[in-house]
Chains A and B, each alone.
Chain A
């Protein structure tokens, strides 16, 4: 029997859930049309008024909101509530230009806390857990989002934030942390550091790890579960929509992330044509927020590539599931015309025995041809005293990449710990091509 944080809403029959969605959608459309000049203009130029949306299927006639729209409205242009009601401001990292800024009313913060608490319970956490929250605290939503959810749940939260890995390990050991929240790559980095210090991660009390903020693979989950001896759960979120806790896997199935549909309406579209794709088809995730007050977004293009299923889940939750993100359409590399996600290469590397999932992809162009170099760290499990063994390992990885992804690569073996470790999102790609 699965446990829930809010059983009524998490297991709401589909018909009731959809009726609730429609009611909330109509309300939010009225509100943004009235309060946000961008949406008034955008709906007017598309020739659609909020009152014309009579069913959930009508959502597809509304225009998209993009990250660029958020940048153009920097910083507060898309806020639908007056600043007097905004109690918190977060922003994305803004690696490409200005950050995107989001504001929350106190009801938004309360809803977010509830959804994050639901997510913790779905992942197998409960009151009495000691939650080691290694997501960064600050403008990034990860730290505070998980923190408020942990408190709402009634668990004990350790607001350790990112960084200072040795101290993190000491605290996990001494404080008896039972739940770990951080990026998947950082969890492996911690395990590696612990090993260097002679600490057996398997002897810690950690039971569940909730990992997100970057795409990861099923193979990496397997690796993390073995090295950290815990259930590794995938969580999804983005600051534009709310932060962490938009969707999460349930520990019962570990098969797809339940998106909290009483607050968000998901759609999958063809990223090129913008057409809505049928259930089960892979495409770009588009989310409409239907309860947010601070900055509601209509049909926000997340750039994340996934698919959607409404099939019933063993956990009893009725909310649709997203398949594991295969990458961001932004992260997607086009190498000699072939679409490649770094996460696909990661799965191949983890499958080759002994290869640490620390890798770096370097894309370049030589004589008008794209080249892909895959740098892979050689740990002791992998190392051989004989050149030919190492060379055949590199060849085997090249062959696997070619066979699975259809792209030619050159594998370069590098010394351990030479690829930069990140305590937040891992940097996996260097693209040196000049466009």
Chain B
């Protein structure tokens, strides 16, 4: 039920983001979704890719600091209040969202959002209980 996300430490200087995308691109890895969190000095690039293992090792070989994080991919009805209802469920379960970002592609008529929770297992249990669709890693990597 969890999706493997790759996080990469990037200094705020020109060309670093390009270097990451070139490195994984040349290894035949395709990006499915991404988010960039930044401060004045550095940023963290978070990626969902079709081949997380390959991406991780090729980035390491090129000297990047990389970590893998478990995130959850959730189907969100593509309509007003769709996201609100989902967040409301999580709120009732007492789960906090550390960060989230959206998939570009839709999946069977719904939007897909990537969530990082403070308590991943509890979040999955909670969403399941409320009938929310959670996408598997395989499904997400091949969207």
Chain A residues with CB under 8 Å of chain B are 378-380, 383-387, 390-391, 412-418
* Given A380-B66, A383-B9, A413-B44 contact (CB < 8 Å): no
* Given A415-B10, A415-B64, A385-B69 contact (CB < 8 Å): yes
Q: Which of A384, A385, A390, A412 is most buried by chain B, counting CB atoms within 10 A of its CB? A: A385
Question: In the complex, which residue of chain A has the Cβ closest to the Cβ of B38?
Answer: A387
Is B67 on the interface with A (CB-CB < 8 A)? yes
Q: Are B116 and A385 in contact (CB under 8 A)?
A: yes
CA distance A416 to B61 in the complex (A): 12
Known: A379-B65, A387-B44, A415-B64. 16 other contacts (CB 8 A): A380-B65, A383-B9, A383-B67, A385-B7, A385-B46, A385-B67, A386-B44, A387-B39, A390-B44, A391-B39, A412-B41, A413-B9, A413-B41, A415-B10, A416-B65, A418-B11
Question: In the complex, which residue of chain A has the Cβ closest to the Cβ of B8?
Answer: A383
Question: In the complex, which residue of chain A has the Cβ closest to the Cβ of B10?
Answer: A415
Q: What total of chain B residues lie within 8 Å of the partner, measured CB to CB?
A: 21
Residues in chain A near residue B63, CB distance under 8 A: 415-417
Name A's interface SS. loop
Interchain Cβ contacts within 8 Å, total number: 48
Q: Are A390 and B65 in contact (CB under 8 A)?
A: no
Residues in chain A near residue B16, CB distance under 8 A: 415
With both chains docked as a complex, state the minimum distance between the C-beta of B79 and any C-beta of chain A, in angstroms. Answer: 31
Residues in chain A near residue B116, CB distance under 8 A: 385
Is B18 on the interface with A (CB-CB < 8 A)? no
Within 8 A of A (CB), among B101-143: 116
Is B98 on the interface with A (CB-CB < 8 A)? yes
Residues in chain A near residue B39, CB distance under 8 A: 387, 391
Residues in chain A near residue B7, CB distance under 8 A: 383, 385
Question: In the complex, which residue of chain A has the Cβ closest to the Cβ of B68?
Answer: A385
Q: Are A386 and B98 in contact (CB under 8 A)?
A: yes
Residues in chain A near residue B69, CB distance under 8 A: 385
With both chains docked as a complex, state the minimum distance between the C-beta of A420 and any C-beta of chain B, in angstroms. Answer: 14
CA distance A321 to B24 in the complex (A): 55
* Given A386-B98, A387-B37, A391-B39, A415-B11 contact (CB < 8 Å): yes
With both chains docked as a complex, state the minimum distance between the C-beta of B20 and any C-beta of chain A, in angstroms. Answer: 11
With both chains docked as a complex, state the minimum distance between the C-beta of B63 and any C-beta of chain A, in angstroms. Answer: 5
CA distance A391 to B44 in the complex (A): 12
